Structure 1
Amino acid sequence: MKVKLPLMIQDTFASQQKGMELVERYEFENEAFFLDGPVTERIAVLDFDEKTGELLPGATFIPPRNKTPGSYDVESPSPGSLISRQFNQVSVMATILKTMDIVEDERVLGRRLHWAFDAPQLLVVPRAGEWANAYYERDTNSLQFFYFKSKRRQEMVYTSLSRDIVSHETAHAILDGIAPDLYDALTPQSLALHEAFADMMAVIMAIRSTTLAKTVLEQTHGSLNYITAFSSIGEEFGFEWHGGHSLRDLSKVIKMNALFSVEPHELSTVLSSALYGMLTQIYEERRQGLVESEGNNFSDPAYSLSGKALAISAQQFARMIFRALDYLPPGEISFADYGRAILAADKAAFPSKGHYREFLRQAFVDREIVPHRSALNIDTNFEFALKHPVDLNDLIESDWVAYQFANQYRDLLQIPDDIASFRVHRRLRTEKLLNEDGKKVEDIVFKVSWDHVEDNAVGGGLPERRRSTVGTTLVINADRSRDAEVETGGGFVEMVQMPASKLDVAQSYNPDWQQRQMRAIRGGKDTLLIRARLTSDLSDSQRLARDAMLERLLREGLVKVDDHAIGPDGKLRANVISAQTRNNVLKLNGTGRMLHITT
C-alpha cells in the first residue's frame, strides 16, 4: 500500500531559526496496511490523555484512491501555529517509518527489520508525560516521548516533534533487533555504540531531508566543515537544557584519552566524531570528483554540485556503517570491533574501493580508538576447506546442521577448547545491492556465542567472578540466488557439547540428518569462501572498563541483585539493572535501560 505522510523537517525551534517550513512529506509502501491510530503492521501509536490516562482517538486514515496515495486526515502546521495531537501522532510514526525505510533499503542493510521483543508492533507513546526525556524500552516494546515546559518560551516542548530525537530513539530499537546482546552489555563501548549509532541515524535522516539539506548547503556554500544541522544533535532540546547549544556536536574531534568517563553518552562522542569525520572526507572527495567530471557545466561547480555529492556520500556512508551491524560479533564489543566490521562489510561488497576505508582507519587512529591503522586488520575473503560437504540451505534452516558445523569447526569460529556449551544464533541469508553495477551480493551470516567468565574486582559484596557474552560472526559467500531472505524461526539454539561417539549414535537414528548428509554429498560445498570472521575483543583494557562501569552503576544504586530487582508485583522493577548470581558468578541484564537522552 502506498501512502504519503507528513513529518517534521527538524524541530519547531530549529526550523524557525533557519527560516524553513516545519513539514515535508514522504512516500511509504513497505507496510502491509495502515489503520486509524495511526497503526501499521509494525508500529502502533498510543496517545493517552495527560489527566485521565485514557487512550485518545487517533488520526483517521484515508485509503488510497485511483493514483492518489493514502494519507491521514490531519492538517500540517505552519510556523507559529499550534500543532494538533493528530498531526503529532502521524508525524512521529512517519519519522519512525522513514528511519526504518532508510536502513532496510537494498543498498544499505538489504533486509526487513525485526524487533528484539516477542511482539509484532513497536508501541509509540508521543506524549508519555512531563519530563525532559525520551527513550526506547525493550520490556514494554515501546518508544516513550515526553514533553516539558520551555525555560525560554511560553510553550511546551514535545520530544516527539523533534526529528533528531525520534530517529535517534528509533535507532535504539533497530539496533536492539539486530544486535540484542548489546542491551545486556557491561562493556562501556558496547553501550556507547548504541548511542553513536543512534546519533549517526539522526545525521543520515537530516541529510535525507531535501529541504534541510538544501538549506544547510546554501548557508555554508556547500561546506560541511562548520557546525550545521547535520552535525548538531537535538538542537531544540539542547537549547533548553544544555546552555543554548545542541545535545552533541559531532564535528568536534574528540579523543579517547581525553575522556575519563565510562558514561555511554560521553563515550559515544569519540566514535560519532570518527564516523562523522569519515563522512565529511567521503563528501569532499566525491564533490571533487564531480567537479572534475561535470564542473564545466557550472559557473560555481563546487557549490552547484554539492547537493549531488552529499546525496551520493550519504548513501555510501549509510551502507558502510549499517551493513557493518550484521558483521558485529555477538555479545560484548568494542569500538575497534565495530571499525573492523565496517571495513569487512565494505570490503566484501567493494573489494577494489579500499581508499574510502582508509578514511575510517585514519579517523580511528586520530581519535586514539586504536594505536595504529593495522589494529583494524581483519580476516576477509579467504577460502576454508571443509572435512565434509555442507549444503548451505541446510546450514541456514536446520539448527542441528548449524550446531554440527559449529562444533566440527570450533577453530574456525574461535570457540575456546574449554567451552562446553555455546549458542548458535539465527542464521541470515542476506541479499544486498552493489551501487556501481547493480549486482547483488548474497551472504550467509552465521553467529555463535558463549559465556566468558572473568575476575570481578569491584567488591561491594558481589561475587568475585562475572559472566558476559562473547562470540564470533562468520560471513559466508552464498553464490546461489534466492528470491528472498531465508531465516530460521528461533532466536538461537543452545547446544551442550557431546562426545563424538554419542553424536554418531544420535545421527544414526536421525533420518532427517541422514537425508541432509546425502544431499550435502550430492550438491554441497566442500570449500567455503569466508567474506569475514570477527570475534569479540577480550583485551585487558575492555575488562578494566567493565570494572569501571560496574563500579559506577553500584555508586548510583542502579544494580539490584537477584530478588532485590523484583518489585511487589513480581515483575522487574523499573529503572534498575538486574544482576543474577549462579554458581557464585555474577551476570548483569538490562544495562540498556541507561540509554535515555538525558543522564
Structure 2
Amino acid sequence: MPAKLRIPTAADAGKKARATIKRARPELYAARQFLDRDIQADLGVRIPFDVYFQDPFVTKSNKAYNFDVEFTVPWEPGLADGPTSARFAIVDYDGATEVLNAPARWNDELAKFVDTKGKVLDRHNLGSAQFRQMNVWATLQNALDFFEAGFGLGRRIDWGFEGNRLIVVPHAGYGQNAFYDRDSKSLQFYYFDAGKEGARKRIHTCLSADIINHEFGHAVLDGIRPLYHESVFAETAAFHEFLGDMSAILIAFRNTVFRSQVAKATGGDLDSDNPLSSLAEEFGRNIGDQDYLRSALNTLKYKDVKDDQRQHYVSQVLTGAMFDIIRRLTAYYMKVRGESVKQALWSTIRRMQCMAVQPLDLLPPADVMFEDYALAVLRAEQIVNPTDPDGYRNLMIDVFLVRGLLSEAKAAELKTPVTVFDRLNVSVFHDPHRIAASRANAYRFLDDNRRDLFIPFAADVVVTDLAMAQKLTVSGRRLPQQILLQYIWREDVLLEGERFGQFAGETTSMLCGGTLALDIDGNCLGWMRKPGTLPLIKGSRKRQAEEEEVKLGKARREAFLNALAARIAAGRIGDGVAGGAAGLLQKSIAPLTAEWVDGNLRFALSPHIGIGGDEDEEMGERPWQISS
C-alpha cells in the first residue's frame, strides 16, 4: 500500500526556518554591520535575553521597570558555557564561601543559556547563580555594543591589560562593593544582606544594570586610555567615576519602555529627581537608606570641587554638566521642534550617545582634565555637525561656562567662527594610510616632524595606541574613516622638599604627549597635547605657538607637583597593593599607590576602581582604609 501522505504542519515549518537561520547565521553575522538592529534580531543574529532593566528593587517598586523586553545580545560563533564570549568570561568563584559555582551552559539548539538542570535562564528561572551569571554577562555584552557602535567609538576597543577577555566574577564575596580591577583583569561584583532581623534579604550587585554599566565604564576607559591609571591628579580619577556614571545613565536611557515611564512621570521636565538621574537604587537604599547612590541632578560648580581629593564627589560636576545638556536638549526638542515628550527623549538620547562617547577618542593620552573633555565634546560635535543650524555647540558652551568648566575667554573664543577642517601643518608629509598601517610607520611620522609637533629631540617618544574608527552621525551617515594616534614620553621629575613626605628626594615620571586624530584624507580632526619641559627644537614655523607650548609645559609641571603634594598631605597614597589572584577585596586599598619601576617612582590609581562612594575611603585609621 502506498505510504500515507503527511501534510507539513506549522511546527514543521518553524523547525525548518530555525534550521535555515542556524545554517545561515555565520554568514549573517559576518554582514551584521550592514543590517538594521531589528533585522538582525529577526534573522537570529541578535538573541533576546531576560535581564533586569535596572535592579530587583526597581522591579518590585514599579512593575513597568520589570525585565527589559527589548533586550538582545549580538550572536557570535564562540558562545560557550560560563557564559563565555569573545570579550567576556564569567568565572563564578565566591571568595566568601570558597565555592566555584557551576557555569550557565550554552544550548546551541535553543540559542539560550540554561541552568544545571537544562532549564532556560529567563524571568521564570531567577533563583539560581546561573541566572545571575547570565544577567551580568548579557548586560555587559549590550554595554560593549553601545560603546563600539558607530554612534559611539566606531571601533573595537582593547582592554587595559594583556589579554582579550575581561573576567567577570558575579559572586566575588560578601561586601557592599563592586569594582573593576586591572591587575586581575576582572570586574568584581559583591553581595550583602540588608533589612531588619527576620526580614533580611540578599542584595546582589551583579543584578543592578546601573552598577554593571558603571563598572564597565571604568574598564572601557582603562582600555582606550590606560595611562590615566598612572595619573596623580584627583580630577583624572574623578573622570573615571564620571564615565562610569554617564555610562549607566545613557545605556538606561536607550530603553524605550524606560523612556516612556520617564515621560509619564516627568512630562519631559527633568529638573526634579527621576530614575534617569539616579544611580543604583537598590544598592543606595540598602547601604545608607538613601534613594540612590549618586544623582546627576546637582548644582556643583568646578570651583566647589577643584581642590577636593574625593574623586566620587568631584566627578559630580561633570556628570551634572552632561545631564544639564540632556535636560536642555529635551526641552529644545519639545518647545522648538514641537516633538512629543517620548519623541523628544528619543531624539535626546540618540544625540547624546554621539555627543558623550565619540569625544573620548579626542582626549589626551595622560592626565585628562574636565576642560579637556568639554573641549573634546565641542570639537566632536563640530566634526559631525559643522554648520550647527540648531545651535547645539552654543548650548553646550553655555552649560560648560555656567559649571565653570570653561572660562569666559575660552567660551568667547569657541563661539568665534573658524575654519572647521585644516590640514596638519607639518614639514614632512606622510600618507594617512601609511601612518595607520603600523605603529612603526606612525613613529616615523612623529619623528620626522618633531619640530612641528612640539616633540623634544631628547624625548623617547612611544606610540601607545594606533586605531582606525568608522563613526556615524546621528542620522546614520558614515563619516570619513578616522586615524587615532596616541604618543607619550616620560620626563623625570625630582621631588624636592618636605611636602613630598616619605617620597622626598625620589625621582618620578611626568607623562607628556598627545592624541592626534586625522581623517583618511589628512584633515586634522583633533590634536590634544600634554606638554613637558624638555627643550624644543628651535626653528619652527610656529614660533609663537612654540613659546606658548613651553609656558604650558612649565605650568603643567608645577600643577603635577602640587597635585602630588596634595595627595600626600591628604594621606591618600599607600604602598603598592596587588589585586590578588582572584582580585578579591583587600583590607586596605589606597586611592593612589606607589611603586618603584626600574629605580624610578611611579604612582597609579588603585587597582580597584569601584562603585563605592568616597565615604568608604574615610573608614579606618587612614582616609583610604576600608573594611571588607
Q: Judging changes above 3 Å, is the alpha-carbon distance between structure 1 residues 567 and 329 closer, same or farther for their aligned structure 2 residues?
A: closer
Secondary structure of the residue that 1:394 maps to in structure 2? helix
Secondary structure of the residue that 2:100 maps to in structure 1? coil
Q: Bigger CA drift: 166-175 or 275-284? A: 275-284
- Residue 281 of structure 1 deviates from its aligned partner by 1.2
- Structure 1 residue 119 corresponds to structure 2 residue 113: no
Q: In structure 2, what is the equivalent of residue 22 of structure 1?
A: 66
Secondary structure of the residue that 2:261 maps to in structure 1? helix
- Residue 435 of structure 1 deviates from its aligned partner by 3.1
Q: In structure 1, what is the equivalent of residue 516 of structure 2?
A: 474
Q: In structure 2, what is the equivalent of residue 362 of structure 1?
A: 398
Any residues of structure 2 matched to 1:314-333 within 5 Å, and which?
Answer: 314-333=349-368
- Residue 438 of structure 1 deviates from its aligned partner by 2.2
Work out the CA distance in 2 between the residues paired with 1:270 and 1:221: 25
Q: Bigger CA drift: 425-434 or 14-23? A: 14-23
- Structure 1 residue 105 corresponds to structure 2 residue 144: no
- Residue 469 of structure 1 deviates from its aligned partner by 1.4
Work out the CA distance in 1 between the residues paired with 2:159 and 2:139: 17
- Structure 1 residue 62 corresponds to structure 2 residue 89: no
Any residues of structure 2 matched to 1:97-496 within 5 Å, and which?
Answer: 97-151=141-195, 154-259=200-305, 260-291=307-338, 305-353=340-388, 355-372=391-408, 374=410, 377=414, 381-416=421-456, 419-436=458-475, 438-454=477-493, 456=495, 458-464=499-505, 465-479=507-521
Offset from partner CA, 1:266-292 (integer Å, 9 cap, x none):
11001101111111112221233441x
Q: Is the 8 A contact 2:183 2:578 kept in 1?
A: no
Q: In structure 2, what is the equivalent of residue 498 of structure 1?
A: none
Work out the CA distance in 1 between the residues paired with 2:230 and 2:145: 27
Q: Is the 8 A contact 1:324 1:345 kept in 2?
A: yes
Higher share in strand: 1
Secondary structure of the residue that 2:421 maps to in structure 1? strand
Work out the CA distance in 2 between the residues paired with 1:455 and 1:582: 15
- Residue 92 of structure 1 deviates from its aligned partner by 0.7
- Residue 206 of structure 1 deviates from its aligned partner by 1.5
- Residue 351 of structure 1 deviates from its aligned partner by 1.1
Offset from partner CA, 1:82-141 (integer Å, 9 cap, x none):
632221111111111111111111122111222111112111111111100000001111
Amino acid at match of 1:311: W
Work out the CA distance in 2 between the residues paired with 1:550 and 1:4: 51
Amino acid at match of 1:463: A
Q: In structure 1, what is the equivalent of residue 4 of structure 2?
A: none
- Residue 573 of structure 1 deviates from its aligned partner by 12
Q: Judging changes above 3 Å, is the alpha-carbon distance between structure 1 residues 52 and 236 closer, same or farther for their aligned structure 2 residues?
A: closer
Q: Bigger CA drift: 437-446 or 310-319? A: 437-446
Work out the CA distance in 1 between the residues paired with 2:501 and 2:609: 21
Amino acid at match of 2:223: G
Q: Judging changes above 3 Å, is the alpha-carbon distance between structure 1 residues 382 and 53 closer, same or farther for their aligned structure 2 residues?
A: same
% identity of equivalent residues: 26
- Residue 427 of structure 1 deviates from its aligned partner by 1.6
Work out the CA distance in 1 between the residues paired with 2:212 and 2:584: 26
Secondary structure of the residue that 2:486 maps to in structure 1? strand
Offset from partner CA, 1:28-63 (integer Å, 9 cap, x none):
226332212211111111223566523221222232
Amino acid at match of 1:534: M
Secondary structure of the residue that 2:316 maps to in structure 1? helix
Secondary structure of the residue that 2:309 maps to in structure 1? coil
- Structure 1 residue 96 corresponds to structure 2 residue 118: no
Q: Bigger CA drift: 372-381 or 109-118? A: 372-381
- Flag structure 2 segments of 5+ consecutive residues without an equivalent: 1-44, 532-551, 617-628
Q: TM-score, normalised by structure 2?
A: 0.77
Q: In structure 1, what is the equivalent of residue 21 of structure 2?
A: none
Work out the CA distance in 2 between the residues paired with 1:318 and 1:412: 34
- Flag structure 1 segments of 5+ consecutive residues without an equivalent: 292-301, 480-527
- Residue 365 of structure 1 deviates from its aligned partner by 1.6
Q: Judging changes above 3 Å, is the alpha-carbon distance between structure 1 residues 420 and 396 closer, same or farther for their aligned structure 2 residues?
A: same
Work out the CA distance in 1 between the residues paired with 2:479 and 2:580: 54
Q: Is the 8 A contact 1:348 1:531 kept in 2?
A: yes
Q: Bigger CA drift: 465-474 or 260-269? A: 465-474
Amino acid at match of 2:100: L
When the two chains are superposed, the root-mean-square deviation of aligned CA atoms in Å is: 3.0
- Residue 591 of structure 1 deviates from its aligned partner by 3.8
Amino acid at match of 2:528: L
Match of 1:587 among 602, 608, 613: 602
Work out the CA distance in 1 between the residues paired with 2:503 and 2:515: 32
Work out the CA distance in 1 between the residues paired with 2:336 and 2:572: 54
Offset from partner CA, 1:396-420 (integer Å, 9 cap, x none):
2233332221122224433245x42
Q: Judging changes above 3 Å, is the alpha-carbon distance between structure 1 residues 12 and 440 closer, same or farther for their aligned structure 2 residues?
A: same
Q: In structure 1, what is the equivalent of residue 14 of structure 2?
A: none
- Residue 589 of structure 1 deviates from its aligned partner by 2.6
Alignment length, in residue pairs?
529
Amino acid at match of 1:535: R
Secondary structure of the residue that 1:447 maps to in structure 2? strand
- Larger RCO, structures 1/2 (Cα 8 Å, 6+ apart): 1
- Residue 203 of structure 1 deviates from its aligned partner by 0.5
Q: Bigger CA drift: 465-474 or 449-458? A: 449-458
Amino acid at match of 2:342: G
Q: Judging changes above 3 Å, is the alpha-carbon distance between structure 1 residues 219 and 83 closer, same or farther for their aligned structure 2 residues?
A: farther
- Residue 387 of structure 1 deviates from its aligned partner by 3.6
Work out the CA distance in 1 between the residues paired with 2:574 and 2:189: 25
Offset from partner CA, 1:349-380 (integer Å, 9 cap, x none):
22112721222222222112232262685996
Amino acid at match of 2:328: Q
Work out the CA distance in 1 between the residues paired with 2:66 and 2:564: 41
Work out the CA distance in 1 between the residues paired with 2:329 and 2:605: 36
- Residue 145 of structure 1 deviates from its aligned partner by 0.3
- Residue 388 of structure 1 deviates from its aligned partner by 4.1
- Residue 566 of structure 1 deviates from its aligned partner by 7.7
Amino acid at match of 1:393: H
Q: Judging changes above 3 Å, is the alpha-carbon distance between structure 1 residues 202 and 452 closer, same or farther for their aligned structure 2 residues?
A: same
Q: Is the 8 A contact 1:150 1:157 kept in 2?
A: yes
Q: Is the 8 A contact 1:130 1:146 kept in 2?
A: yes
- Residue 477 of structure 1 deviates from its aligned partner by 1.6
- Residue 434 of structure 1 deviates from its aligned partner by 2.3
- Residue 224 of structure 1 deviates from its aligned partner by 1.6
- Residue 572 of structure 1 deviates from its aligned partner by 13
- Residue 556 of structure 1 deviates from its aligned partner by 4.1
Q: Judging changes above 3 Å, is the alpha-carbon distance between structure 1 residues 572 and 126 closer, same or farther for their aligned structure 2 residues?
A: closer
Match of 2:524 among 522, 530, 551: 530
Q: Is the 8 A contact 2:459 2:490 kept in 1?
A: no
- Residue 471 of structure 1 deviates from its aligned partner by 1.6
Work out the CA distance in 2 between the residues paired with 1:151 and 1:567: 30
Q: Judging changes above 3 Å, is the alpha-carbon distance between structure 1 residues 43 and 566 closer, same or farther for their aligned structure 2 residues?
A: closer
Work out the CA distance in 1 between the residues paired with 2:351 and 2:420: 20
- Residue 445 of structure 1 deviates from its aligned partner by 1.1
Q: Bigger CA drift: 178-187 or 214-223? A: 214-223
Q: Judging changes above 3 Å, is the alpha-carbon distance between structure 1 residues 369 and 124 closer, same or farther for their aligned structure 2 residues?
A: same
Q: In structure 2, what is the equivalent of residue 483 of structure 1?
A: none
Work out the CA distance in 2 between the residues paired with 1:119 and 1:416: 33
Q: In structure 1, what is the equivalent of residue 26 of structure 2?
A: none
Q: TM-score, normalised by structure 1?
A: 0.81
Secondary structure of the residue that 1:393 maps to in structure 2? helix
